[in-house]
């Protein structure tokens, strides 16, 4: 009797689970389309990102040249107090320059991200997609629109 009760309970649980699954699947319309995008690939191929990286590398190179000038200037000082005063002064300038480079890079990267997101949304609307997911989050399915996005990102 106890075994029959366990079997009936398990059977009811299975039927309930199956019913819930069917109900959940019935809520998805038959014309539902979703796409996937490899965002890392789009970003790495983006001319905007490449230009930003080049610009940032140039600014860092300029900062390094400035640091060489600073070192030479500090080494010219004959007294320890003079060196310490210059180091303190240049440290503050260096922090400002470094922060400016970092803020400029972050602001431009944010604008690029917004532009890429807008391109993805526009491509999704034009393609009639209801949902676009990151390619890494999807194991199977969806139309890969990475190439189309990469072509449209400027």
Segment 38-54, tens digit of pLDDT? 999 999 899 999 999 99
pLDDT at 141: 86
Verify that 7 and 25 share a domain, yes or no.
Answer: yes
The position carrying tokens 């001319």 is: 47
pLDDT at 30: 72
Mean pLDDT of the region 29-43: 88
The rounded radius of gyration (Å) of the Cα atoms in the chain is 29
CA distances from 129 to 30, 105, 123, 138, 152 (A): 13, 33, 9, 15, 17
Verify that 37 and 87 share a domain, yes or no.
Answer: yes
Verify that 18 and 55 share a domain, yes or no.
Answer: no
Verify that 24 and 41 share a domain, yes or no.
Answer: no
Strand-pairing partners, residue 143, are: 35
* Crossing angle between the packed helical segments 80-127 and 47-76, to the nearest 10 degrees: 180
Verify that 25 and 101 share a domain, yes or no.
Answer: no
Verify that 5 and 70 share a domain, yes or no.
Answer: no
Which H/E stretch holds residue 53? helix 47-76
pLDDT at 62: 94
Band of pLDDT at residue 36, cut at 50, 70 and 90: very high
Verify that 42 and 113 share a domain, yes or no.
Answer: yes
Sign of the dihedral through C-alpha 75, 77, 83, 87:
negative
Kindly report the number of other CB atoms within 10 A of residue 153's CB atom: 20
Q: Which domain holds residue 25?
A: 1-30
Verify that 77 and 123 share a domain, yes or no.
Answer: yes
Beta-carbon contacts of 120 under 8 Å, excluding residues fewer than 6 positions away, are: 37, 42, 132, 145, 149
**What pTM value is reported for the model?**
0.69
Domains in the chain: how many in total?
Answer: 2
The average confidence (pLDDT) of the chain is 85
> Per residue in 95-147, pLDDT tens?
999 999 999 999 999 999 999 999 999 999 999 999 999 998 888 888 999 99
Verify that 49 and 79 share a domain, yes or no.
Answer: yes
Verify that 38 and 4 share a domain, yes or no.
Answer: no
């Amino acid at each position: 009797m106890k075994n029959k009760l366990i079997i009936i309970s398990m059977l009811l649980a299975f039927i309930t689970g199956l019913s819930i699954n069917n109900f959940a699947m019935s809520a998805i319309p038959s014309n539902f389309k979703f796409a996937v995008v490899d965002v890392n690939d789009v970003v790495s191929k983006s001319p905007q990102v490449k230009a930003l990286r080049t610009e940032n590398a140039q600014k860092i190179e300029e900062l390094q040249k400035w640091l060489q000038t600073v070192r030479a200037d500090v080494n010219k000082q004959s007294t320890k107090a003079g060196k310490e005063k210059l180091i303190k002064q240049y440290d503050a300038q260096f922090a400002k320059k470094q922060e400016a480079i970092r803020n400029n890079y972050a602001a431009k990267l944010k604008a690029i991200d917004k532009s890429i997101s807008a391109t993805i949304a526009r491509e999704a609307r034009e393609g009639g997609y209801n949902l676009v997911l990151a390619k890494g989050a999807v194991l199977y399915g969806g139309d890969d629109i990475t190439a189309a996005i990469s072509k449209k990102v400027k």
